[in-house]
Amino acid sequence: MKQVMTCHCGKEIEFDVPDSFNIADEPRLIEEIIDGSFMELECESCGAKLRPDIPLLFERISTTEGKIRLRYIPEPQRTRYLGSKLSEDDVERWAIGYEELREKFLIFSHQLDDRLIEFIKFLLLEKAESAENVRIVLAEIEEDHYTFYIHGLREQEVGISKIPRSLYQKVLASLTERMQNEVYSQIAEPPYVSINKISLEEEDL
C-alpha cells in the first residue's frame, strides 16, 4: 500500500507498506528492527533520516510459544488501544512504540519468553524508591546476563541493571506459581504482555 509522509523540510516522501511482514520469509527484518534501520527513509531534499510511525502487522515470528503474529501500534495510539478490550484482537502480541517493538524482537530472536522478561522488570520496579514515571527496557542480551535500562529514577540519567541469566531460569522455574498471582497474570495477559499496563499503587505493593 502506498503511503506518504512529510519531512520536516516540507518534502513529501512516498513509500510502500505491505499488508503484513512475514518474518519467516524475511528474517533479515529482525536485525533491521533491532539495529534501528527498519523502514528508515532518507529525504531526497534535505538528507534527513525519517521513519514512518504507522500501524504494522508482523506474521510467523518464531517464539517459545511457536509462530505468532504481532501488531505494532504507534505510540500516539497507546491510550486508545489500552482502553479497548485486549481479548477482541486476534493477534498474539502487541508492541506499542518502536522501543517495545525492538525489545520484543530482541527477546524472540534469542528464543526467550517475553512474559519472564516482563516479570524480571516487575522485580526491578519493586526495588525502585518510586515507581512513578519509571520505564524499564531490555537493551542487550549476553550469554550470561541481560542488560536493562531504567529511565526515570533520576532526572536526565539512565540506570543500568545487569541481571544474571540464572534469575531468568529461576523465574522460569516458578512460572506456574507466579501465574496464580493477580499482578503477574495481568502482566502476562496477551496480546499486550507488558508491565506498562499495571500500576504499583493500584495493586498496593
Beta bridge partners of 135: 151
The grid coordinates of residue 154 equal: 533520576
CA 167 – CA 174 distance, rounded (Å): 11
Note the pTM of the prediction, 2 decimals: 0.91
**3 state DSSP class of 112:** coil
- pLDDT at residue 203 in the model: 41
pLDDT averaged per 10 residues, the chain (length 205):
94 95 97 97 96 97 97 94 74 96 98 98 86 89 97 88 98 97 95 84 40
Q: Which residues contact 129 (CB under 8 A, 6 or more apart)?
A: 153
Q: Which of 120, 111, 117 is nearest to 64 (CA)?
A: 111
Q: Is 163 helix (H, G, I), strand (E, B) or coil?
A: strand
Does residue 19 contact residue 8 with C-beta atoms inside 8 Å? Answer: no
Taking the alpha carbons of 85, 89, 91, 96 in that order, is the dihedral positive or negative? negative
